[in-house]
Amino acid sequence: MFDNYKPENILKILVSNDDGIHSQGIYELVQELKKVGDVTVVAPSSEQSAVGHAITMKIPLRIKEVYRRGEFFGYAVDGTPADCVKIGMRNIIQDVPDVVISGINHGSNTAINIIYSGTVSAAREAAIMDIPAIAVSVTSHQVKNFSYAAKFAGNLAKLLIAKDLPKGTLLNVNVPDLPENEIKGVKLTKQGKSKWLETYEERIDPFGNKYFWLTGELNVTDTDDNMDHKAVLNNYVSVTPIHFDLTDYETYSEMQSWNISELDSVSKSSDN
């Protein structure tokens, strides 16, 4: 299946994540990717879950070399996942990588979670730079099975280079946390529509002041088996192509009849 992929060209891979450079997921991913390429790790020095596509501008960043199990592992940046890819590309690595892989995230990034995900934002930052990119997550927060997901990421990287993924597109991969013989297969999917049912728990601190803690659960409303969250619930690996053109073209067409140009004169008249 890797017809155009030349194995003599060792893949140059930049790896990041949002759980931080010391997490288990990125360690397992890197061990596997070293078998298929030259790996450079640039990842947040601390956990950065749910930071979305935040970037750091008001304060400077620092870069630190990190060793794991006695060996040089990579570069820690005291910023967000998107910061790591930006500074990794601009100030750490010399060549443009063949692929950027973000993960392995502890917890799924499906449906509405894609919006909040730091894991996805690192891969998206690469896609913005026209570099092929993959975000990989395993569905459980206490992941038992990283190995299949790591191998899958390496194979998908080879495939997307062979197939020439369009610039500006990244692949969002979610893998069920199962022994590999229980994984049913792979599905090409769309982003699901499921959303969170959230509440803020109201509590009182030791000084008598109120504080609020976000809690909730994903309300799975998707019925289409070709949606990401549904696919992993059905024990399939989900692969979703996503991009960063947020234009709603359907509404764009509909709004042609709204005559929004009239809002100019309405707003210029002295009062509403």
Chain residues 82-111 in contact with a copy of itself, contact rule CB under 8 A: 82-83, 86-87, 90-91
Q: CB of 24: closest distance to a copy of itself in angstroms?
A: 18
What mask, x for binding a copy of itself by CB under 8 A, covers residues 209 to 248? xxxxxx----------------------x-xxxxxxxxxx
Q: Is residue 137 near a copy of itself by the rule CB under 8 A?
A: no
Rounded CA separation 6/210 (Å): 60
Q: How far is CA 134 from CA 59, 111, 240, 269, in A?
A: 28, 16, 10, 51
Position among 14, 85, 183, 231 found at the interface with a copy of itself (CB under 8 A): 183
Position among 36, 41, 122, 161 found at the interface with a copy of itself (CB under 8 A): 36
What mask, x for binding a copy of itself by CB under 8 A, covers residues 2 to 31? ------------------------------
Q: Is residue 152 near a copy of itself by the rule CB under 8 A?
A: yes
Cβ-proximal residues to 81 (8 Å cutoff; 6+ apart), any chain = 16, 17, 18, 43, 44, 48, 51, 102, 118, 119, 121, 122, 125
Q: Is residue 204 near a copy of itself by the rule CB under 8 A?
A: no
Q: Is residue 266 near a copy of itself by the rule CB under 8 A?
A: yes
Position among 8, 65, 95, 271 found at the interface with a copy of itself (CB under 8 A): 271
Position among 22, 195, 218, 220 found at the interface with a copy of itself (CB under 8 A): 195
- Total site size for a copy of itself, rule CB under 8 A: 94
Are the C-beta atoms of residues 171 and 159 closer than 8 Å to each other? no
Placement of tokens 């990842």 in the chain: 43
Question: What pairs with residue 14 in β-bridges?
Answer: 40, 100
* DSSP per position, 1-49: --TT--TTSPEEEEEE-SS-TTSHHHHHHHHHHTTTEEEEEEEESS--T
CA dihedral angle for residue 164, residue 81, residue 116, residue 222, rounded to 10 degrees: 40
| Cis check: omega of the bond before 104, within 30 degrees of 0 | yes
Residue 142 or 259 having the CB closest to a copy of itself: 259
Q: CB of 214: closest distance to a copy of itself in angstroms?
A: 5
Q: Is residue 154 near a copy of itself by the rule CB under 8 A?
A: yes
